[in-house]
Amino acid sequence: MTGELNALSALDEVSSVLELTEEDFTPMSKCGIEFLSDFWQEKYLQEYIKNGGSKIKFVTGRQGSGKTYFLQLMTMIAKTENYKTAQFSAKEIWLHDFKDIYVEILEQCDIMDCLEAVSHYLIQEMGFSYQDIPEGMRFIDYLSQNGSGDAITKREIRTLLRNIFLDNPLMDNNFALACSMLTGSILGYPVLEEQNKELLLSWLKGDRSIKLSQLRALDFYPSRITKYNARHMLRSLAELIRMGGYSGLFVTVDDMEILTSRSSLELVHYTKVKREDTYESIRQLIDDIDSMHHIMFVYAFDRELFDNENAGVKSYQALWMRIQNEIVGERFNRFSDMVDMDRLAIQEYTSDIIIALAKSMAKEDNTAIRMLEPEDAVEIVERARTGAVGIPQMIINAMQEVSADV
**Residues 336-365: tens digit of each pLDDT:** 999 988 888 778 777 777 777 777 666 655
Q: Do 241 and 84 touch, CB atoms closer than 8 A? A: yes
- Report the C-alpha gap between 32 and 390 in whole angstroms: 14
pLDDT tens per residue, range 215-234: 998 999 999 999 999 999 99
> What confidence score (pLDDT) does residue 240 get?
98
Report the half-sphere exposure of 20 (CA within 13 A, side-chain side): 28
> What confidence score (pLDDT) does residue 11 get?
36
> What confidence score (pLDDT) does residue 1 get?
36
Per-residue pLDDT of the chain in tens (406 residues, 90 and over written 9): 333 334 343 333 333 333 445 555 444 445 568 889 999 999 999 999 999 999 999 999 888 788 998 999 999 999 999 999 999 999 999 999 999 999 999 999 999 999 999 999 999 999 999 999 999 999 999 999 999 889 999 999 999 999 999 999 999 999 999 999 999 999 999 999 999 999 999 999 999 999 999 999 899 999 999 999 999 999 999 999 999 999 999 999 999 999 998 876 777 889 999 999 999 999 999 999 999 999 999 999 998 998 899 999 999 999 999 988 654 556 778 899 999 888 887 787 777 777 777 776 666 556 556 777 777 767 766 776 666 666 677 777 777 775 444 3
Can you give the length of the chain in residues?
A: 406
> What confidence score (pLDDT) does residue 196 get?
95
- Report the C-alpha gap between 189 and 139 in whole angstroms: 8
Single-letter amino acid code for the residue at 199: L
Contacts 24+ apart (CB under 8 A), 189-193: 189/139, 189/140, 189/154, 189/157, 190/157, 190/158
Decide: helix, strand or coil at residue 60.
strand
pLDDT tens per residue, range 304-313: 998 899 999 9
DSSP secondary structure letter of residue 177 = H
- Report the C-alpha gap between 240 and 102 in whole angstroms: 14
> What confidence score (pLDDT) does residue 351 get?
72
In what order do the strands lie in the sheet containing 54-61? 83-89, 248-254, 295-302, 54-61, 338-340
Question: Burial of 273 by CB count in 10 Å (0-12 exposed, 13-18 middle, 19+ buried)?
Answer: exposed
Q: Do 387 and 394 touch, CB atoms closer than 8 A? A: yes
- Report the C-alpha gap between 171 and 164 in whole angstroms: 10
